């Protein structure tokens, strides 16, 4: 008999060097998938009581209170982030508060792998794999949205800006692929500068 | 590449961020009256689709966004999206009136009754 051991998807991968951004795996975060009806006041009140924060109802936004964050995923779905060690406790509190209300709360901490990108080139790197206009004003700090990134499903959370800190959530089975993709496309020599000032061609 | 606008969450994105769900407003005959479904009705339900040149009504899913289904009215010639509307709704009246061919036949009764999809 051996005890189950917690292993992250990217455990053992070396910290890459020579990239335009710093990338690392976030391993200490717990995630709870929360579903319910946003127009159900009893549901919203119960969540507020358990998490101490109002769930964001505007598309692609997030809310935070202390170490707990809520990311908007859909009109009836949120991803709750908390320290991994507190997931169980928070889940119990949520389920107690939501008893009898049409809703769902599940621990999905191991469902997704989180890769954190830090640096001002983070957006131009992500642009290589996505059709979103990440440089537009819509993508301010706190924005969270799902997208098709490098042909796979991903979730983008802009944690802060200047310098950019962006969390990229991919399903665990895609973690290796996403990591390798970021390394391959994030090399300094592969940097894209078409969005910066261009040299004026001689006439 | 089409630029699609999600009716539910307002996200705008490339066609690849969305999923095309085929022709809209297809009712399953067995849902209404399971005991009396003719072979012809079942055949039409399974296989027969409009092949509109011009205004067409179809289903789309915000696949990599909010995950919700919605309806869209699109011109198959110009690829222009005329409107998007909820998954349980009928198109805006002006578009139902503008429909031609099989769609005009389909919307004729609904325009008269003003009923739901």
Q: Which residues of B touch A153 (CB under 8 A)?
A: 64
Domain boundary (A107, A141, A171) is at A107
Based on the fold, state whether residues A136 and A100 are members of the same structural domain. no
Instruction: Indicate yes or no: CB of A148 within 8 angstroms of CB of B64.
Output: yes
How much is the pLDDT for A198?
56
Check whether residue A149 and residue A167 sit in a common domain: yes
User: How crowded is residue B48: how many other Cβ atoms within 10 Å of its Cβ?
Assistant: 12
- Residue B22 CB: number of other CB atoms within 10 A? 9
Q: Is the pLDDT reported for residue A73 higher than 80?
A: yes
Q: How many other CB atoms are there within 10 angstroms of residue A123's CB atom?
A: 21
- CATH number, domain of A181, equals 3.30.1360.120
Judge: A75–B9 Cβ closer than 8 Å, yes or no: yes
- Write the pLDDT tens digit of every residue in B48-60: 999 999 999 999 9
Say yes or no for a CB contact (<8 Å) between B10 and A153.
no
Q: How far apart are the first and last CA of chain B?
A: 29
Q: Number of folded domains in chain B? A: 1
Cβ–Cβ under 8 Å, residues A162 and A139: no
Question: A132: which chain B residues are within 8 Å (Cβ-Cβ)?
Answer: 13
CA A41 to chain centroid: 27
Of A148, A149, A150, A169, which to mutate for an interface test with B (greatest number of B Cβ within 10 Å)?
A148
> In this model, does residue A202 exceed pLDDT 70?
no
Q: Give me the DSSP letters along A69-130.
A: EEEEEETTEEEEEEEGGGHHHHHHHHHHHTTTSSEEEEE-TTTEEEEEEESTTHHHHHHTT-
Please check whether residue A85 lies inside any domain of the structure. yes
Q: Where residue A197 falls among pLDDT bands split at 50, 70, 90?
A: low
The pLDDT value given to residue A79: 97
Interface of A with B in 120-179 (CB under 8 A): 131-132, 145-148, 153
Residues in chain B: 117
- Chain A residues touching residue B9 (CB < 8 angstroms): 59-60, 74-75
State yes or no: pLDDT of B117 exceeds 60. no
Domain boundary among A107, A132, A149: A107
A76 located within any domain: yes
- Per-residue burial over A30-45, b if 16 or more Cβ lie within 10 Å, else e, is bbbbbebebeeeebbe
By CA distance, what is A146's nearest residue in B?
B65
Q: Please give the residue that has the higher pLDDT: either B104 or A4.
A: B104
Asked if residue A87 is part of any domain, the answer here is: yes
- Between chains, do A147 and B17 touch, taking CB under 8 Å as contact? yes
Residue A153 lies in a domain: yes
Pairing of strands A112-118, A62-65: unpaired
Helix axis angle, A87-97 to A41-51, nearest 10°: 150
Q: Are residues A138 and A98 in the same domain?
A: no
Q: Rounded CA gap, B26 and B44, in Å?
A: 10
Domain boundary among A78, A107, A136: A107
Q: Which residue of A has its CA nearest to B67?
A: A74
Chain B contact residues (CB < 8 Å to A): 8-11, 13-14, 16-17, 63-68
pLDDT at A168: 97
Q: Does residue A15 lie within any of the structural domains?
A: no
* Residues comprising chain A, all counted: 203
Query: CA of B10: which chain A residue's CA is closest?
Result: A59
pLDDT tens digit sequence for A125-156 = 999 998 888 888 889 999 999 999 999 999 99
Q: Do B9 and A59 make contact, defined as CB atoms within 8 angstroms?
A: yes
Residue A103 and residue A128 in one domain: no
Contact (CB<8Å) B9/A153: no
**Secondary-structure breakdown of chain A: helix, strand, coil percentages, each rounded to the nearest 5:** 25, 35, 45
Can the peptide bond before residue A163 be classed as cis, meaning omega within 30 degrees of 0? yes
Q: How far is B116 from chain A (nearest CA, A)?
A: 23
CATH classification of the domain holding B74: 3.30.2270.10
Burial of A51 (0-12, 13-18, 19+ CB in 10 A): buried
Residue A80 burial by Cβ neighbours in a 10 Å radius (0-12, 13-18, 19+): buried
Is pLDDT above 80 for A203? Answer: no
Mutate to test the interface with B, among A146, A149, A154 (most CBs of B within 10 A): A146
Q: CATH number for the domain including A83? A: 3.30.70.1520
User: What pLDDT digit, counting tens, does each position of A30-65 carry?
Assistant: 999 999 999 999 999 999 999 999 999 999 999 999
How far is it, in rounded angstroms, from Cα A112 to Cα A22? Answer: 20
Q: pTM value?
A: 0.87
Query: How many structural domains are present in chain A?
Result: 2
What is the domain range of residue B96?
3-113
Q: Which domain holds residue A186?
A: 22-26+111-190
């Amino acid at each position: 008999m051996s005890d189950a051991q917690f292993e992250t998807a990217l455990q053992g991968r070396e910290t890459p060097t020579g990239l335009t951004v710093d990338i690392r795996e976030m391993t200490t975060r717990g995630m709870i998938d929360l579903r319910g009806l946003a127009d159900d006041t009893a549901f919203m009140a119960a969540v507020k009581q358990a998490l101490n924060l109002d769930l964001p109802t505007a598309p692609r936004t997030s809310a935070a209170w202390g170490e707990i964050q809520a990311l908007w995923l859909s009109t009836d779905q949120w991803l709750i982030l908390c320290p991994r060690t507190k997931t169980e406790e928070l889940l119990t509190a949520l389920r107690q508060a939501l008893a009898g209300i049409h809703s769902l709360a599940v621990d999905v901490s191991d469902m997704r792998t989180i890769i954190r990108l830090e640096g001002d080139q983070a957006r131009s790197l992500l642009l290589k794999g996505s059709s979103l206009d990440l440089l537009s004003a819509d993508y301010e700090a706190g924005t969270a949205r799902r997208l098709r990134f490098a042909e796979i499903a991903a979730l983008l959370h802009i944690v802060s800006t200047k310098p950019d800190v962006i969390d990229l959530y991919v399903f665990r089975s895609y973690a290796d692929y996403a990591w390798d993709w970021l390394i391959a496309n994030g090399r300094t020599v592969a940097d894209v500068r078409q969005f910066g000032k261009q040299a004026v061609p001689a006439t | 590449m089409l630029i699609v606008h999600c009716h539910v969450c307002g996200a705008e994105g490339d066609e690849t961020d969305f999923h095309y769900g085929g022709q809209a407003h297809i009712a399953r005959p067995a849902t209404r009256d399971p005991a009396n479904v003719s072979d012809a009705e079942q055949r039409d339900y399974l296989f027969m689709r409009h092949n509109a040149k011009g205004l067409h009504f179809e289903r789309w899913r915000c696949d990599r966004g909010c995950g919700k289904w919605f309806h869209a009215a699109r011109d198959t010639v110009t690829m222009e999206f005329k409107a998007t509307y909820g998954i349980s709704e009928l198109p805006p009246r002006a578009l139902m009136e503008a429909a031609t061919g099989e769609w005009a036949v389909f919307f004729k009764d609904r325009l008269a009754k003003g009923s739901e999809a």
